[in-house]
Amino acid sequence: MKYNHVQFILLAEFDIDKGSSLTYQYPAPTGTDPHVLAELMLPDGAHQWEDDWTIFFLNQKVPESGKNFECGGEPQKQNPNHQPLLYVLNRVCTKHDPGAPRGAMVKAMAICTKHQYLHVYKPVLLLALENYFQNPSQDILASLFDAVNSMDLRTMPAFSLNERLILRASENKDMFEEKFVEMEEINNPDFKDPRELEQVSGDEMDETALKKKKRNTYIDLSSGQKKEMTTTMSNKNKDRHFFETKVIYEGHKLPIRVPLTVHPEEVGDFSLIKLITTFSQSSASYQTIHPHLHTSGPQTHPIILLINALLTQKKIIFLGHGLPSGEVANYVLAACAMGSGSGAVLRGFTERAFPYTNLTNVDELRKFPGFIAGVTNPTFEEHPKWWDVLCNIRTGKVTVSGEISMSGVGGGTFVGKEKIGNDPMTKPGSTTSHPQRLENIADNDFMSEVMLAIQSHYGENVIRAKIQEYIQRFVRLAALYEEETRGSTNIGITSSNTKSANELLGNGLYFPDTGPNSTKERELLANRGRIEGWIGTISYQFYQEDFQSYLKSRSIINIDVARQIMKLKVCREMSSIEAEGIFKAFLESVTTDDQVIELLANLPQNQGGLFVLASGLYHPSKSVREFTVQLFNRIKQHKAGARFVQDLNHFHKLAYERLSRTSSSTDWSLRSISNFAH
């Protein structure tokens, strides 16, 4: 059976007399100019490298910039006839041959796919291009096309955003194991769940109990409790962060591991750590200061400036003169992920991204209201009118163009404009929204935390989680800013879209202090420029649309979960009444499987998991302790939730088990288990 994983296979060759040319498009033309494809597949200086991997995208459409788009406006709809974005993995290879013109042959083969995890095709593409060198025929492309489209993904589970967030933040290799078993059962009637072979014997479980048995669990009639099957070692050896399959090409069985925690805007196998370390090495030095970009004035960290440029839709170039185009492309892909909050918060970046491009594409590039592009030609650096921010990969220097516009983006206007004159933050005669030149303490703390994590050798997932949290906080801050300055927002939780009657709980971003010169006031002032720069951008429009969809699809509707968790983390003095309100609200709002998953997604295991809720086990208020035990009992009945409870530290586990035995809530919990299981 064929699956539509790959849409096109391309083959390009370089001829000393004809230049770059596209030889084959299989099984049909892509619709893109063949000359453009050939230039992208055979990058500048490709002959210098025996082997290079390039990534570029097809079907990119110049988006409308969203002019005059203000808070409360309707987000623009995408053209339904627009072709979906295709991700292209290209391998270019130079073979030295004394009989060839200039002693070498340069050929490139590319796979065009709708899958973001296009890097999994590298092994088969490598073999196919080698075969083409030996037998330059379209049959090679046809064989490759059939092989990659026969890759079997039928039993690969599809995870929701909340499930992906849980899985990515967990080191448990068997997280969501039950979903894999379910897909096996659906697609293979003869499949036997190994765990069902280890069921309890018949004398422990009568016929009625067997009928009540749910997948991976059963109800023990003697106690009324829900019990779990054991898992065989064969399943335990599999890492469920990946789906294991294979591609059979020319007799070779090539193992494929498809990552299951990929978010939108994350394409390929890039490294955020490499991006951050490259541009954190040189000290910041800016001749031009821009209110959207410099949230800490001239001392703005280069990575913060890059994030601000991404958020406010600036034209960004990554220049890697003398570097392989594939290396440059990975910086662009990492930047897209960074601006989008590791793909989990914002979107609208990859459609404006050009992981590799060249001088022939400059006119098309400049049509985009804001782009992220990777180039190897140093000519780009000599034309500051083409870009707003240039990141030189070799030197680690981030440059703001002297030609950058000082006006707002997409209709965004600065609040409280003042002439600065000789202020060192701006050029003479320009305006800025923050003349006080406040240091953005939150940004500095964030970068210190990220750099410490990298120096301590934390992995890529930890850094991506920190970026995601940072961008999510920025969006929540922007929602608060809109409420404060415009009276309403369509991008944040407000009293109008929650049903809680408890005014103590509140909605939106939480700050531990109030009053003059509070954290809230300082953060709003320090972020005003980039918030105004973000309003009206494409990613802002998309987020407004996505947030309205979230309000309709969310499972927990009575409380702002993120606010309550943040309150438990940072509140210095919380009354017993408020604590009781929070834990009671959690208990009343988290009753279904979907609601448990949504709660757990806000409690990532690599940031402590249930640790913040475990504080309720030691609260002076008996009600808080009982609510906490009942909530943990409820979480424990969910497969993923049980793993969270299991991962509590020994001290918290003992406290929970002791309270479960002695608290009056225990009897209530046990009576609820059977109903919750259904």
Angle at 159 between CA 157 and CA 163, to 5 degrees: 135
Q: How far apart are CA 260 and CA 158, in angstroms?
A: 8
How many whole angstroms separate alpha carbon 675 and alpha carbon 219? 11
pLDDT, tens digit (0-9, with 9 covering 90-100), for 607-627? 999 999 999 999 999 999 999
What are the E-state strand segments in 34-85? 51-58
478's enclosing H/E stretch is helix 460-486
Residue ranges in the chain modelled with pLDDT below 50? 1, 66-78, 80, 195, 197-234, 409-437, 665-678
pLDDT of residue 646: 93
659: closest CA among 607, 635, 623? 623
Determine whether 605 is exposed, middle or buried from the number of CB atoms within 10 Å of its CB (0-12, 13-18, 19+): buried
Backbone angles phi, psi at 482, to 5 degrees: -65, -40
- Name the phi and psi angles at 502, rounded to 5: -85, 105
Tell me the one-letter amino acid at 138.
Answer: Q
pLDDT of residue 218: 34
Kindly report the number of other CB atoms within 10 A of residue 321's CB atom: 18
Burial 25-56 (b: 16+ CB within 10 A, else e): bbeeebebebebbbbbbbbbebeebeebbbbb
Residues across the chain: 678
Cis peptide bond upstream of 84, omega within 30: no
Per the CB < 8 A criterion, the answer to whether 272 and 467 are in contact is: yes
User: What's the confidence (pLDDT) of residue 190?
Assistant: 59
How many CB atoms are closer than 10 A to CB 495? 12
Separation between Cα atoms, residue 493 and residue 600, nearest integer Å = 19
CA distance 330 to 460: 14
C-alpha to C-alpha distance for 380 and 517, rounded to whole angstroms: 44
- CA distances for 225 relative to 123, 176, 212, angstroms: 49, 21, 12
**Tokens coding 479:** 């929602």
Tokens of 546: 């996505």
Q: Using DSSP, how many helices (H) and how many strands (E) does the chain show?
A: 23, 16
Neighbours of 619 (CB within 10 A): 18
Residue 527 dihedral angles phi and psi, to the nearest 5°: -100, 0
In the sheet with 6-15, reading across from the earlier edge strand, the strands are 19-26, 6-15, 104-113, 86-96, 51-58
Domains of the chain (ranges, CATH numbers): 1-61+85-173+240-262 (3.30.450.200), 558-677 (no CATH)
DSSP state letters, 584-597: HHHHHH--SHHHHH
Q: Which residue matches tokens 């022939």?
A: 360
Helix/strand/coil for 506:
coil
